Amino acid sequence: MNKNLIYAVLITIFGITLLSDRKMIEAAILNKYGQIKSNKFFKVLRAIKTLPLSKKQITFLMSQILVETGFFSSKNKVFDLNNNASGILYTGSAAQIANGATKGSERPTNEGGNYARFENLNDWAKEYFRVLNKKSMPLNSNDINEFVIKLKANNYFTDSLENYKKNINFFYNFLIKNNF
């Protein structure tokens, strides 16, 4: 049996906190979502950590990424096909191209256009950072709910504010509960 899975079971059953924060979140993700999704999570996290962000901002971003990808299980496979963990639309702008974006897979018919495709996750992270530093500046939020409100103000998602807030809070609370 996998050592991290055993730790996750001990944590779940006895509330034992013998693990470092890193090991605890690894065990929790592995236990709840499996090895493949856990690997994708940590690849994206490594790219996000190349950006000048606080721990709070990283937690906001990872929560939002988990919503956008359905914890890396999205049926349209945007992440797998495009190295695009946040569903960034391809616009072909000079700024986007400077961050390594090319035209990626098609978006759903009702949304139109294409996703941006990136050669690697570090390029995607730079573009994601640029996108989130526009207009209402979601990265300057004080809490996760303000972050969602600012994302909505920037037309970042089409879902209702209440539904998106519920979904992002689910992942945010999961990360916080597991010492992310």
Q: What is the pLDDT of residues 95-147, one digit of tens each?
A: 999 999 999 999 989 889 999 999 999 999 999 999 988 888 998 999 999 99
Q: Evaluate whether the domain defined by 52-177 bears CATH number 1.10.530.
A: yes
Does 18 score more than 50 pLDDT?
no
Does 59 score more than 60 pLDDT?
yes
Distance of CA 141 to the CA centre of its chain: 16
8 Å CB contact between 62 and 49: no
Does 10 score more than 60 pLDDT?
no
Find which of 32-46, 76-90, 91-105, 129-143 is predicted with most confidence, using mean pLDDT.
91-105
Confidence of residue 179 (pLDDT cuts 50, 70, 90): confident
> Which are the contacts of 121, defined by CB distance < 8 A and separation ≥ 6?
43, 44, 46, 47, 83, 85
Confidence of residue 31 (pLDDT cuts 50, 70, 90): confident
pLDDT at res. 64: 94
SS3 106: strand
Q: What is the DSSP code string of 114-132?
A: EEEEESSHHHHHHHHHHHT
**8-state DSSP, 89:** B
Mean model confidence pLDDT for the chain: 87
Instruction: From residue 27, give the alpha-carbon distance in Å to each of 42, 157, 176.
Output: 12, 31, 14
What contacts 24+ positions apart, CB below 8 Å, involve 4-8? 4/30, 4/31, 5/30, 5/31
What's the pTM value of the predicted model, to 2 decimals?
Answer: 0.82
pLDDT at res. 19: 47
